[in-house]
Amino acid sequence: MSKEKQFVKEITPQAEDFSRWYLDTISKAELMSYSPVRGCVVLRPDGYEIWEHIQRELDRKFKETGHRNAYFPLFIPESFFQKEKEHVEGFNPELPWVTEAGGEKLEERLAIRPTSETMIGHMYSNWINSYRDLPVLINQWANVVRWEKRTLPFLRTTEFLWQEGHTAHEDEKDAREETMRMLEVYREFAENFLAIPVIVGQKTPSEKFAGAVDTYSIEAMMKDGKAVQAGTSHYLGTNFAQAFDIKYLDRSNEQQYVHTTSWGVSTRLIGALIMVHGDDRGLVLPPKVAPTQAVVIPIGPPKTRDQVVPRAEEMFYELKRAGIRVKLDDNPDQSPGWKFNEYEMRGVPIRIEFGPRDMENGQAVLVSRVTGEKRPVKLDAIVDEVQKLLEEVHQAMYDNAKALMESNFKSLDTLDEMRSFLEAQRGFVLAGWCGSDVCERQVKEETGATSRNMPFEPKEHKSACIVCGSKAEHTVVYGKSY
């Protein structure tokens, strides 16, 4: 059996076991390694570089909308959590506590940051005095800890990386505008940077963030039909302002509580883009986050190396100068076939083959990771052609993911239909909901699906609740999730 065939066998096919495919792929592609601490992983350079590209682009977008970065402590006093009852109840099962330090028991337990609303609320109460101090638009890039019972690398780990925006405003109107503005930033980023189509909508009351008035989300469908919540934005009203006494003197010289928001995405996005785009050969990385966007591989008999490699190096430097993240693999100890499989598995969007015949013809051959199409291009147009193909790869990835979502998204009217659909295949179900918590719980109990959100633009508006048959107050997307 050839090395190439043995190589592919190291990744479990998606149809056989999607979860095993996922774990095989991220391990084989060296995105992460398990650490000795339960539920924690080490992000290896390729995995962390994907996060760096996500971080860089989002940071740019945040700053364009007037936000600035700050940093707040990892440790949060227990008394802070007692100030917002709903918030502490929502996070208490996941909180790790520090009770001892320097060999002495602490007077007050310290939580290791699960999220920063309480700490930031405390600081805002000191910083904000007048309407002239508003709005406060701050973002934090940080790590957080939530003691998860079940973990899955990138999607759900004990410690993970994220950003959390926290803003304070004069009134509800400004705060709600901020909430929706940042939700749109996430939607645009997911679709135009990660090539992930998403459903944008509002969470039901039972699924909203602990302590929020309203929570909004973008929901993505993985290749196995499960959902991943890819980003959330919360309107917190005055809940945290009242808990932490964040008041300001308004334009009429009267004391008012600020209205606050919070919003965030995490390294969960890495897991999502792997599950949305990957195939049985391994990763398929969106060009805008791929650590390597193109790899140049010299091919041909060993006797032609002295002529081919120097010209391949010229091509490499030309692409690099143009800002393309490119790699040249001229290692003579590995065959071109092995290299083709290696870089396909690692999800590199474009492979550039270059041999003696190509050199004679003044061309190189571009190969798309998504379609496998081979495209001869002239060397004097190599930069333009690679940039053009990168855009095509992004669009093809988005179109493929969109088609998959649409083919596994059903509008149904009865619980029996939903149960049958989710038993036969995984996917999303659009259904009516009367607004009753009882009916929402019954969907979960009988099908295992949870409400993902109430989409702003549903394919249709449902007239009757899928459970009780009474008038639908909302149209909801349901799905099983990670």
CA–CA gap between residue 259 and residue 86 (Å, rounded): 17
How much of the chain exceeds pLDDT 70, in percent? 96
Mean of pLDDT over the chain: 95
Q: Report the C-alpha gap between 389 and 469 in whole angstroms.
A: 50
Virtual torsion, Cα 444, 449, 453, 458, nearest 10 deg:
-120
Count of beta carbons in the 10 Å neighbourhood of residue 243: 23
Tell me the average pLDDT across 427-447: 97
> According to the model, what pLDDT value does residue 88 have?
62
- Residues 371-390: pLDDT tens digits? 999 999 999 999 999 999 99
Question: What is the structure's pLDDT at 3?
Answer: 44
Question: If 0-12 CB within 10 Å is exposed, 13-18 middle and 19+ buried, where does residue 423 land?
Answer: exposed
Closest to 417 (Cα-Cα) out of 361, 348, 464: 464
Cα angle value 220/226/231 (rounded, 5°): 30
Q: Distance between CA atoms of 432 and 472, rounded to whole angstroms?
A: 5
User: Which of 1 and 119 is assigned the larger pLDDT?
Assistant: 119
Pairing mode, strands 374-378 and 68-69: unpaired
Q: Does the pLDDT of residue 225 top 70, yes or no?
A: yes
- 369, two tokens: 């990771």
Q: Mean pLDDT, to the nearest integer, of 243-258?
A: 97
pLDDT at 439: 98
The answer to whether residue 353 scores a pLDDT higher than 50 is yes
Query: Residue 123 in 3-state DSSP?
Result: helix
Pair 81, 111: CB distance under 8 Å: yes
Report the C-alpha gap between 291 and 48 in whole angstroms.
Answer: 9
CA distance 228 to 88: 24
Look at the block and give the residue holding tokens 């350079």.
45
Amino acid at 146: R
Q: pLDDT value at position 425?
A: 85
Q: Is the pLDDT of residue 436 over 50?
A: yes
Per-residue model confidence as pLDDT tens digits over 72-97 = 999 999 998 888 666 566 667 788 89
Confidence of residue 210 (pLDDT cuts 50, 70, 90): confident
Task: Please report which confidence band the pLDDT of residue 9 belongs to, taking 50, 70 and 90 as the band edges.
Answer: low
pLDDT of residue 85: 64
**307-351 pLDDT, tens digit each:** 999 999 999 999 999 999 999 999 999 999 999 999 999 999 999
pLDDT of residue 93: 74
Tell me how far apart the alpha carbons of residues 181 and 189 are, in angstroms, rounded to a whole number: 12
Which amino acid, 432?
G
Tens of pLDDT, residue by residue over 32-51, are: 999 999 899 999 999 999 99
Q: Rounded to whole angstroms, how far apart are CA atoms 409 and 400?
A: 14
pTM here?
0.94
How much is the pLDDT for 90? 62
In contact, 271 and 161? CB cutoff 8 Å: no
Q: Render pLDDT for 409-432 as a digit per residue (tens, 0 to 9).
A: 999 999 999 999 999 988 999 999
Q: What is the pLDDT of residue 91?
A: 66
Q: Give the bridge partners for 163, in sequence order.
A: 141, 265
How many helices and strands (H and E) does the chain possess? Answer: 15, 23
Domains recognised in the chain with CATH numbers: 3-277 (3.30.930.10), 294-392 (3.40.50.800), 409-479 (3.30.110.30)
> CA–CA separation, 113 vs 159, rounded Å?
10
